[in-house]
Amino acid sequence: MSDHPEHERVSLANVAYLHDISAGDLEKTVEIESGWDPAAVNIHSGSAGLIQWTRETAKSLGTSCAEIPLMDFEEQCGLIDRYLQRVPHPIGDDVYMAVACPAGIGAENDRVCYPVDPSEKSPWSQNPAWRSTGNGPITAGSIRAYFKNRSGPAHQTPTKRPGGPKNAPGAGLGFVLLLALCLFGLRSRRD
């Protein structure tokens, strides 16, 4: 993944911390879905934002796919937090699954997330890369394989942070203080 502004990485790391998930996997999910562009809109489905919220999901979060691209990165991190509060936990290593098919979190690889449905607006039609075979259903295993094969394992992707790389021992007092301030800010907004 390319370099992105420090404050964006810290914001995603804060959300990851709140949900006990890998910050690297969350960064990779944002990279795959939107290329880190909060204004990204899928021209076929109308899904919008950092993790490409669908119209239904956006509405359930009290917003819309028209409003999401107008939100900045920080606002969308708050939306990611709210979204992740609603998906089955523990998420564990299924960070991308939480976005692609929440019902597939923790499921066996052969669980069908999206059956074959050639209609234009179906998740099956709009996400051919998620299929393990050209005409088969989209399964939890095929979604996991897609995520794993995109630029290698996310947990091995270095992340620059104040005081050193991701998960470095002794990451530095500056990073710890910054993280504490950001977490306090996120939790205060939710109260």
- In the structure encoding, which two tokens stand for residue 57, read together? 């999901």
pLDDT in tens, 52-85: 999 999 999 999 999 999 999 999 999 999 999 9
pLDDT in tens, 11-48: 999 999 999 999 999 999 999 999 999 999 998 889 99
More confidently predicted of 161 and 75: 75
Q: Where are the beta strands (DSSP E) in 20-172?
A: 112-114, 138-139, 160-161, 164-165
Note the pLDDT of residue 28. 95
**Alpha-carbon torsion angle 171, 155, 32, 100, nearest 10:** -120
What's the burial of 2, exposed, middle or buried (CB within 10 Å: 0-12/13-18/19+)?
A: exposed
Residue 41, phi-psi category: left (phi > 0), alpha (psi -120 to 50), beta (remainder): beta
In sequence order, what are the residues at sequence separation of 6 or more whose Cβ sits closer than 8 angstroms to the Cβ of residue 74?
A: 7, 11
Distances in Å between the alpha carbon of 49 and those of 2, 5, 41, 113, 173? 18, 17, 6, 22, 33
What's the pTM value of the predicted model, to 2 decimals?
0.77
What dotted CATH number matches 6-190?
Answer: 1.10.530
pLDDT in tens, 132-160: 887 899 999 999 999 999 864 343 332 22
Q: How confident is the model at residue 173 (pLDDT cuts 50, 70, 90)?
A: very low
What gap in Å lies between CA 51 and CA 121, rounded to an integer? 18
Q: How confident is the model at residue 179 (pLDDT cuts 50, 70, 90)?
A: very low
| CA R_g for the chain | 17
Computed from CA positions of residues 131, 116, 104, 97, in that sequence, does the dihedral angle turn out positive or negative?
A: positive
**Alpha-carbon torsion angle 146, 76, 84, 32, nearest 10:** 0
- Residue 101 host element (H or E): none
What's the burial of 147, exposed, middle or buried (CB within 10 Å: 0-12/13-18/19+)?
A: buried
